[in-house]
């Protein structure tokens, strides 16, 4: 799927979600990077850097994005990574995982 089309479809399917400007910036960064473009997914440290925010705020906003169905969480603790909730945009082994991407 073309990245521009994927981005448009993603935002149309989530048009009812209210995001902060920082959350929108991070999601757009992930969308612009494409399915394999943001190696290792998004984590709290990357969010802090991209969003110029504290670790606590980064963690809270990532959880909010997951709760809204925009991101899917993989792993836990320090290994927690977030990927766009778009089929095929998660880690390579996600397809064989017992925890599939959820509907938003």
Which CATH number fits the domain that encloses residue 78? 1.10.10.10
Q: Is residue 24 part of a domain?
A: yes
Give me the number of domains the chain comprises. Answer: 1
**Does the pLDDT at position 96 exceed 50?**
no
Q: Is residue 101 part of a domain?
A: no
More confident residue, 22 or 3: 22
* Rounded (5°) CA angle 33-12-42: 30
State the Cα–Cα distance between residues 37 and 20, nearest whole angstrom: 23
**Does the pLDDT at position 99 exceed 80?**
no
Q: Is residue 92 part of a domain?
A: no
pTM over 0.85: no
Tens digits of residue pLDDT in 34-89: 887 778 899 999 999 999 999 999 999 999 999 999 999 999 998 999 999 988 88
Domain that holds residue 28: 3-87
Closest to 33 measured CA to CA, from 79, 82, 76, 77? 82
């Amino acid at each position: 799927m073309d990245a521009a089309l994927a981005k448009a479809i993603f935002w149309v399917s989530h048009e009812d979600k209210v995001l902060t400007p920082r959350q929108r910036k991070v999601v757009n960064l992930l969308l612009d990077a494409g399915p394999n473009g943001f190696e290792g997914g998004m984590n709290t440290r990357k969010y802090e850097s991209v969003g110029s925010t504290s670790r606590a705020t980064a963690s809270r906003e990532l959880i909010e994005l997951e709760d809204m169905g925009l991101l899917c969480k993989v792993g836990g603790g320090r290994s927690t990574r977030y990927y766009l909730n778009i089929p095929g945009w998660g880690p390579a082994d996600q397809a064989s995982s017992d925890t599939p991407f959820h509907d938003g």
